[in-house]
Chains A and B, each alone.
Chain A
Amino acid sequence: MTTPLLAIGPESLELERLAAALDASAGSNAGADGAVVTFLGLVRNHNVGRRVRYLEYEAYEPLALKSFERIGVEIQERWPDVRLALHHRIGRLEIGDASIAIAARSPHRANAYAACRYAIERVKQIAPIWKREFFDGGDMWIEGATADPDDQRARAEAERIACA
């Protein structure tokens, strides 16, 4: 079975699968690429002073996938030679598990690095995904950004961080 470039689901994440999916989608242009930059986000055992036991992720899956597609389009506009793969995991994740995997492939490393960073910043801004933190002494939903894909200031901020 071919791995999709964009995905969300309960399966564990492997960067190799994203790299392979990008490789397969490159077709006859594969030889032109000189860099793959990858990012793996992990569940850590501490957050603002709390000892975290595990996380539960939930998503509005069809809209999350569309958000990933939108991020891919934004990357096409800003870095036309980059191709993106992005997988997000949902369900219960233990400490050390990967929650998100991103791979950006390009003829040159600078654009691949920037696009990879941009993708994670935009996921945190606009993807309808939530984590519930279970820590020593309780649990709470983590609430970050109000999702608004048309907020150009947020988009510009993600781009600024990506290119810093």
Chain B
Amino acid sequence: MRVTVRLFARLRDIAGASELARDLAPGATIGTVWRELAGEYPGLAQYERSISSAVNADYARMDHVLRDGDEVAFLPPVSGG
């Protein structure tokens, strides 16, 4: 299955892309995608404990199981207002 990954703010700068496509095995979770990305872009690892994640524009936990076509987003600590 294939998912789209969205990266924001400094995560996007580190990866050098705001959107990535990833092919995953069935049963993969948000955490699976995160670990894969952190392996690919070591600069992301420092965010391990401070990121939030979302699936299809709703907040979701790292153990959330993904489905084909999902949009996964990784969000560094926020600073709106």
Q: Other than the known A126-B78, A128-B73, A130-B9, what 17 A-B pairs have Cβ atoms closer than 8 Å?
A: A60-B8, A60-B75, A63-B58, A124-B80, A125-B78, A129-B78, A129-B79, A129-B81, A130-B10, A130-B76, A130-B78, A141-B9, A141-B76, A142-B79, A144-B78, A147-B77, A147-B78
B residues near A144, Cβ cutoff 8 Å = 77-79
Residues of A within 8 A of B (CB): 41, 57-60, 62-64, 66, 88, 99-100, 120, 123-132, 141-150
Contacts A130-B8, A130-B9, A146-B52; A66 near B80 (Cβ below 8 A): no
Q: B59 contacts the other chain (Cβ, under 8 Å)?
A: yes
B residues near A147, Cβ cutoff 8 Å = 52, 59, 75, 77-78
> Shortest Cβ distance from A39 into chain B, in angstroms?
10
Q: Roughly how many angstroms separate A127 CA and B73 CA in the complex, as a whole number?
A: 14
Q: Roughly how many angstroms separate A64 CA and B6 CA in the complex, as a whole number?
A: 14
Residues of B within 8 A of A (CB): 6, 8-10, 13, 50-52, 54, 57-59, 73, 75-81
Q: A128 contacts which of B8, B10, B13, B50 (Cβ < 8 Å)?
A: B8
Chain A interface secondary structure, helix, strand, loop or mixed? mixed
B residues near A126, Cβ cutoff 8 Å = 78
Contact (Cβ within 8 A) A130 B51? no
Contact (Cβ within 8 A) A123 B9? no
> Shortest Cβ distance from B54 into chain A, in angstroms?
6
Contact (Cβ within 8 A) B78 A127? yes
B residues near A148, Cβ cutoff 8 Å = 52, 59
A residues near B77, Cβ cutoff 8 Å = 143-147
Q: Roughly how many angstroms separate A63 CA and B30 CA in the complex, as a whole number?
A: 17
B residues near A88, Cβ cutoff 8 Å = 80-81
A residues near B6, Cβ cutoff 8 Å = 60
Can you sample 20 A-B contacts with CB below 8 Å? A58-B9, A60-B8, A63-B54, A63-B57, A63-B59, A120-B81, A123-B80, A125-B78, A127-B80, A128-B52, A130-B8, A130-B76, A141-B13, A143-B50, A143-B77, A145-B77, A146-B52, A147-B75, A147-B78, A148-B52
